[in-house]
């Protein structure tokens, strides 16, 4: 908690100490807004002409066509405040230009919009006729809520877990070690190789593999599969029992100080272990935040290259470093593109090349790649119970896409999407199984 | 939801608002919502293990403990609870939703 409080204090306005909490929150949010609209940021805030073409781009609006879910309207909860404080007319004749004063109540309205009606998937921004980055505007809204101390409770708890215990599920180090030993034992039996073990805290290996804590606590099959594939490839790799969490809930929350700290820990651990490369497990926002946002937060590039495990799997198969048999995955498989990995992370082809090599009947859903629809679980939505009903409702768009493929298995290189897809399968009676890409590769090993 | 004349409230994620009101009838009702018409002996073993662990530690148990202590295969648990240990088994056991990416 200490770290979080430090974060908040650093954003307070000088001379603000004597003010009551809500007023301090408003001032901190206004300071964050002011810092966000320098230069190009101001253009973004002023450019939306409310043509409404973004309506159909948004999975939340499509599932529930309420004007409150229209991306342009969502953005206007923030741009109206921008106009009030940063434009000539907004300062003098606010009523004329729809400019609105920021109050504690309005921060809560913004909070409902930016966390509860938007998954930061960016589909509206990439389809905007004017090129307005609505996703960025809504992210500014998240940052304003964060400095005002109004991050939703479930999301805040997850950030606190990460900062205080080193991982989002507060898994103790001993539990991590016991789980990797247990998985090693199971893997030995499955692969029929007694020498096999999952390496932990080993120095001088080629790769540091960073995972989603969900793979330790609740869904270890993907970690087991990765260990199996690395073993088959003769890879030199290790996990870290201290820094193993690829996720970054500071990023979801709009709390950049926490986000920076989480990224710093992984980069530092890679240095301490002396690895040549960091490989990130299948995690959409983990990839986006570590690979792309991290160097910006830290103000420097990493000392070693960073890739997603799907790129490594692609390399193994292309080079013949592992042998696979497509017949072993005979059922129809489709692929869900995680927004943070594909549209916002730039990684769309390796996972497809891999799936075509390890499955017999791979079909695309429509639309796909950078124009995919969010599953509805992005933006930290899965950690915020208060929006659970909206999350499941907005997943109808994805459920319809999946159903149309006739697939029995949905592969997705993101553990967060996987949880949402499991729930969609149940709620929309899709009868599909959700798997990580690495699980299908492991299953296809010869 | 009405279970045996008791009114049970769930949050928007489908987890019990007051885990203290949990009993076997509630478990059976949530299981039906999970697509499990009747909880088998193994289901019950898992549910009760999770419940006891939670009462002691105020946390959901890691899947390792469920599997090792009860002798359940790691691949079998996802067949028994298709939503997995968190949104499936923990929900049937009347726990609050575990934090994070689940």
Chain-chain contact of A389 with B12 (C-beta, under 8 angstroms): yes
Q: Which CATH number fits domain A2-150: 1.10.10, 2.60.120, 1.10.1060, 1.10.150?
A: 1.10.1060
User: Which residue in B2, B79, B100, B101 is the catalytic one?
Assistant: B101
Q: Which residues of B touch A218 (CB under 8 A)?
A: 60, 62-63, 84-86, 98, 102
Chain-chain contact of A419 with B98 (C-beta, under 8 angstroms): no
Tell me the pTM.
Answer: 0.94
Give the pLDDT confidence score for residue A10 in this predicted structure.
Answer: 41
Residues 6+ apart with CB under 8 A from A241: A173, A176, A177, A180, A200, A201
Q: What is the DSSP letter of B85?
A: I
Residue holding tokens 């419940």? Answer: B51
Q: What angle do CA A264, A265, A266 make, to 5 degrees?
A: 95
Structure tokens at A69: 């879910």
Which residues of A fall below an 8 Å CB-CB distance to B? Answer: 154, 157-158, 161, 168-171, 175, 178-179, 182-183, 186, 212-214, 216-221, 224, 247, 249, 382-383, 385-389, 415-416, 419, 422-423, 425-426
Give the pLDDT confidence score for residue A225 in this predicted structure.
Answer: 98
CATH classification at residue B82: 1.10.10.370
Residue B102 within a domain: no
Residue B3 within a domain: no
CA distance B52 to chain A (A): 17
β-strand A237-238 against A207-210: which pairing, if any?
Answer: parallel
A440: nearest Cα among A377, A371, A359: A359
CB pairs A-B closer than 8 Å: 98
Q: Which CATH number fits domain A321-444: 3.30.1490.20, 3.30.390.30, 3.10.100.10, 3.40.50.10700?
A: 3.40.50.10700
Give the chain A residue nearest B67 (alpha carbons): A182
Give the pLDDT confidence score for residue A5 in this predicted structure.
Answer: 39
Structure tokens at A431: 């009868």
Give the pLDDT confidence score for residue A12 in this predicted structure.
Answer: 46
Chain-chain contact of A213 with B83 (C-beta, under 8 angstroms): no
Give the pLDDT confidence score for residue A38 in this predicted structure.
Answer: 87
- Measured in whole angstroms, how far is the alpha carbon of residue A443 from the centre of its chain? 26
Residue B63 within a domain: yes
Give the pLDDT confidence score for residue A11 in this predicted structure.
Answer: 43
A164: nearest Cα among A261, A280, A254, A260: A261
**Is the ipTM above a cut-off of 0.85?**
yes
Q: Which residues of B touch A213 (CB under 8 A)?
A: 100-101
The 3 state secondary structure assigned to chain A is: CHHHHHHHHHHCCCCCCCCCHHHHHHHHHHHHHHHHCCCHHHHHHHHCCCCCCCHHHCHHHHHCCCHHHCHHHHHHHHHHHHHHHHCHHHHHCCCCCCCCCCCHHHHHHHHHHHHHCCCCCCHHHHHCCCCCCHHHHHHHHHHHHHHCCCCCHHHHHHHHHHHHHCCCCCCCHHHHHHHHHHHHHHHHHHHCCCCCCCCECCCCCCEEEEECCHHHHCCCHHHHHHHHHHHHCCCCEEECCCCCECCCHHHHHCCHHHHHHHHHHHHHHHHHHCCCEEEECCCHHHHHHHHHHHHHHHCCCCCCCEEEHHHHHHHHHHCCCCCECHHHCCCEEEECCCCCCCCCCCCCCHHHHHHHHHCCEEECCCCCHHHCCCCCCCCCHHHCHHHHHHHHHHCHHHHHHHHHHCCCEEECCCHHHHHHHHHHHHHCCCCCEEECHHHHHHHHEC
A119: nearest Cα among A29, A58, A55: A58
Give the pLDDT confidence score for residue A13 in this predicted structure.
Answer: 52
Span(s) in chain A for CATH 1.10.1060 = 2-150
Q: For each of chain A's 446 residues, which pLDDT tens digit applies?
A: 333 333 333 444 555 666 777 899 999 999 999 999 988 888 899 899 999 999 999 999 999 999 999 999 999 999 999 999 999 999 999 999 999 999 999 999 999 999 999 999 999 999 999 999 999 999 999 999 999 999 999 999 999 999 999 999 999 999 999 999 999 999 999 999 999 999 999 999 999 999 999 999 999 999 999 999 999 999 999 999 999 999 999 999 999 999 999 999 999 999 999 999 999 999 999 999 999 999 999 999 999 999 999 999 999 999 999 999 999 999 999 999 999 999 999 999 999 999 999 999 999 999 999 999 999 999 999 999 999 999 999 999 999 999 999 999 999 999 999 999 999 999 999 999 999 999 999 999 99
Helix (H, G, I), strand (E, B) or coil at B6: strand
CA distance A324 to chain B (A): 22
- Which residue range(s) make up the domain with B77? 13-92
Rounded to an integer, what distance in angstroms lies between the CA atom of residue A434 and that of residue A418?
Answer: 6
Residue B34 within a domain: yes
Give the pLDDT confidence score for residue A41 in this predicted structure.
Answer: 84
Residue B4 within a domain: no
Q: What angle do CA A320, A325, A328 make, to 5 degrees?
A: 150
Q: Count of domains in chain B?
A: 1
Question: What fold, for A168-314?
Answer: Rossmann fold (3.40.50)
């Amino acid at each position: 908690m200490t770290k979080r409080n430090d974060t908040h204090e650093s954003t307070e306005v000088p001379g603000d100490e004597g003010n009551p909490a809500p007023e301090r929150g408003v001032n901190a949010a206004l300071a964050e807004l002011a810092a966000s609209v320098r230069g190009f940021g101001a253009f973004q805030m002023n450019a939306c002409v409310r043509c409404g073409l973004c309506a159909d781009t948004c999975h939340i609006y499509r599932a529930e066509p309420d004007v409150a879910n229209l991306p342009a309207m969502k953005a206007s909860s923030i741009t109206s405040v921008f106009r009030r404080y940063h434009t000539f007319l907004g300062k003098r004749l606010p009523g004329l230009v729809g400019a609105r004063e920021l109050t504690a109540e309005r921060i809560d309205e913004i909070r409902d919009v930016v966390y509860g009606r938007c998954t930061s998937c960016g589909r509206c921004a990439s389809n905007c006729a004017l090129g307005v980055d609505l996703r960025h505007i809504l992210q500014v809204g998240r940052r304003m809520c964060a400095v005002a101390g109004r991050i939703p409770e479930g999301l805040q708890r997850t950030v606190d877990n990460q900062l205080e215990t080193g991982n989002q599920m507060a898994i103790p180090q001993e539990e991590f070690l016991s789980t990797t030993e247990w998985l090693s034992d199971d893997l030995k039996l499955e692969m029929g190789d007694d020498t096999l073990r999952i390496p932990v805290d080993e120095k001088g290996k080629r790769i540091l593999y960073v995972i989603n804590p969900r793979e330790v606590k609740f869904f270890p099959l993907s970690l087991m599969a990765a260990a199996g594939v690395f073993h088959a490839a003769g890879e030199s790799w290790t996990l870290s029992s201290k820094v193993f969490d690829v996720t970054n809930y500071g990023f979801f929350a709009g709390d950049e100080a926490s986000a920076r700290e989480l990224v710093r820990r992984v980069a530092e651990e890679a240095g301490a272990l002396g690895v040549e490369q960091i490989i990130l497990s299948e995690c959409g926002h983990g990839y986006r935040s570590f690979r792309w946002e991290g160097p910006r937060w830290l103000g420097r590039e990493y000392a070693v290259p960073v890739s997603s495990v799907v790129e490594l799997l692609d390399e193994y198969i292309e080079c013949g470093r592992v042998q696979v048999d497509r017949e072993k995955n005979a059922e129809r498989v489709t692929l869900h593109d995680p927004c943070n990995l594909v549209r916002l992370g730039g990684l769309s082809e390796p996972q497809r090349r891999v799936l075509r090599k390890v499955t017999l009947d791979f079909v695309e859903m429509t639309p796909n790649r950078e124009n995919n629809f969010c599953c509805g679980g992005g933006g930290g939505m899965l950690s915020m119970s208060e929006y659970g009903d909206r999350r499941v409702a907005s997943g109808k768009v994805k459920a319809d896409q999946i159903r149309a493929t006739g697939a029995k298995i949905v592969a997705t290189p993101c553990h967060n999407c996987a949880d949402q897809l499991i729930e969609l399968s149940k709620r929309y009676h899709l009868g599909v199984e959700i798997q990580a890409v690495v699980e299908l590769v492991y299953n296809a090993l010869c | 939801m009405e279970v045996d004349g008791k009114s049970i409230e769930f949050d928007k994620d489908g987890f019990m608002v007051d885990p203290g009101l949990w009993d076997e009838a509630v478990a059976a009702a949530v299981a039906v919502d999970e697509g499990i018409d009747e909880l088998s002996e193994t289901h019950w073993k898992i549910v009760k293990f999770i419940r006891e662990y939670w009462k002691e530690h105020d946390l959901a148990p890691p899947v390792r403990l469920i599997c090792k202590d009860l002798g359940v295969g790691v691949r079998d648990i996802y067949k028994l609870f298709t939503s997995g240990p968190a949104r499936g088994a923990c929900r049937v056991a009347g726990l609050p939703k575990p934090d994070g990416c689940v």
